[in-house]
Structure 1
Amino acid sequence: MKRISVELVPRDEDALRGELALLGKFKEQVDVINIPDLLRFPTRSWQGAAIAKEYFPESMPHIRAMDIDLDKELAMKDYLREHDIREVLVIEGDPPQDMMHEVYPTNSVDVIWKFRKEMPEVKVYAGIDQYRGSLSQELYRIKRKLQAGAAGFFTQPFFDMRFLSVYADMLQGLEVYWGVSPVMSARSQSYWERKNHVVFPHAFEPTLDWSVAFAKEVMDFAVREGNNVYLMPIKTNLEAYLEGVLA
């Protein structure tokens, strides 16, 4: 396996520092910290990524495409350079709940291209959402992002190795971080089914044991294929989950 990335939500600086300190015990296994950009929290992703670099050598902020005005220079450009942040993950982004937050009709392809033009030293990754449409539709989006200059991809969480293997065949030769996330309750399972149209396998169980076992299965696959893994420990005991997966 090439790299393991762990996503940490920057709810506030103290909480983020607490999780980063906890992650210190896994420093030998974890290569990069991913920081999503969630507008309901005061810390923006690039600010959280700068904090993460105090604990880990590499961090990667998520950049919301719809926040980028193509007629202006990248607003976070100087900040990224000042803190030596050399990797970003460009996503489409969800519409803001606060209607005062200005958004633009900008897509991921536009922003990947803009980063390549304004910050050629930055490695730009793109997202894959394997649940939003057909395989052919997502493959078209992947090709457009590659043409714009994407260096690799992060997927949404997988819950079925059979589905993952279909994408693995389609993405051969590309740098991919296979997404994995624990689902710990029937309510959380229902959310994934309703919001993201996930079809869970028959053997799925919303438990820590199942989530850990599946994550290990994905990691074994990544080792064999020379890929990367993207752990998203959403709404779970971070230490218990990572001890189970990385032990």
Structure 2
Amino acid sequence: MTRISVELVPRDAEVLENEVKAIKENLNDVDFINIPDLLSCDIRSWDGASIAKKYFKDVVPHLRAMDFDFTKQLPIKEKLRGYNIKEVLVVEGDPPQSMLYQVYPTVSTDIIRKINEELPEVTVYAGIDQYRSSMKEEEYRIRRKQLAGAKGFFTQPFFDMRYLEMYADLLDGLDIYWGVSPVLSERSVSYWRNKNNVIFPKDFEPTLQWNIDFARKVIAFAKKHNHNVYLMPIKAQIMPYLEGVFAK
């Protein structure tokens, strides 16, 4: 059965709660919320997840591998249990801008393995970055994360159904959450091209309607193949975008 998630950035506790509440009250198609862990936000992902848990049974906080010393006990273990978090997404994490912020040479597989050992009741997902390198190299990373104990995978956003279908063949049999994120300005297009190495399809337009139509195509594909989807309305107005995506 297809699950659909919305990713919400925890910049402000009150704003986050209002967003989660609006989604719960107006969009029956959304099954759960996932919360990224961004150093630019004062709220950590697990604390943001505790806010979303007021409205959704399932909430998935992201955990940055480099924030944890894998030789020591997981410091947020009791918080995750206290918040009744049953699923997490482990990502590598981007290096901090400030050298005052402590990070470790920890990689995703270290933390995936550690969570499975210390929190066996928690389902661990891992990330896929289809723009990082070749498909062959990314497949190798995926298999390593599987061996470490990842039960499913969240991709970076796709913008081209042809590329998504190629990855669908590669990932056949895995529990996949296809990422979709609206890109609504030339500045955002430049960001995705230069920062993440995205090549947009010839018919791409940085308009709300193009992005809504594409999200609907991905959801239809996911439902046909028993996959899942997560929507990342990072720069878009959340409710107009989601209401367009889920319009009957």
1:191-247 Cα deviation digits (max 9, x unpaired): 000000000000000000000000000000001000000100011110110000012
Aligned to 2:157: 157
Q: Does the CA-based 8 Å contact 1:27-1:56 persist in structure 2? A: no
Taking only aligned residues, the RMSD between alpha carbons, in angstroms, comes to: 0.8
Aligned residues: 247
What is the identity, as a one-letter code, of the residue corresponding to 2:79? Y
Q: Distance in 1 between matches of 2:108 and 2:80?
A: 19
Deviation at 1:135, TM superposition (A): 0.4
Match of 2:241 in 1: 241
4+ residue segments displaced more than 4 Å: none
| 1:27 positional shift | 4.5
Distance 1:167 1:46 in 2: 30
Instruction: Write out aligned runs for 1:217-236 (5 A).
Output: 217-236=217-236
- What does residue range 186-205 of structure 1 map to in structure 2 within 5 Å? 186-205=186-205
**Distance in 1 between residues matched to 2:202 and 2:196, nearest whole Å:** 18
Map 1:211-222 → 2, pairs under 5 A: 211-222=211-222
Residue in 2 aligned with 1:42? 42
Tell me the residue number matched to 2:169: 169
Q: What SS class does the counterpart of residue 199 from structure 1 fall into?
A: coil
Give the letter aligned to residue 105 of structure 1. Answer: P
SS of alignment partner, residue 178 of structure 2: strand
TM-score for the superposition, normalised by structure 1: 0.98
Aligned partner letter, 2:201: P
The aligned amino acid for 1:111 is I
- The TM-score with structure 2 as length reference comes to 0.98
Residue range with higher mean Cα deviation, 114-123 or 25-34:
25-34
Unaligned runs of 5+ in 1: none
Query: What is the CA distance between 1:70 and its match in structure 2?
Result: 1.1
Secondary structure at the counterpart of residue 245 of structure 2: helix
CA distance in 2, matches of 1:37, 1:87: 14
- Identity between Structure 1 and Structure 2 (%): 60
Q: Report the 3-state secondary structure (helix = DSSP H, G, I; strand = E; otherwise coil) of the residue aligned with 2:106.
A: coil
Q: How many Å separate the matches in 2 of 1:229 and 1:201?
A: 20
Q: State the Cα distance separating 1:20 from its structure 2 match.
A: 1.1
Q: Which residue of 2 aligns with 1:142?
A: 142
Are the equivalent residues in 2 in contact too, given 1:92–1:107 (CA < 8 A)?
yes
Alignment match, 1:75? 75
Question: C-alpha distance in 1, partners of 2:23/2:11?
Answer: 16
| Equivalent residue, structure 2, for 1:109 | 109
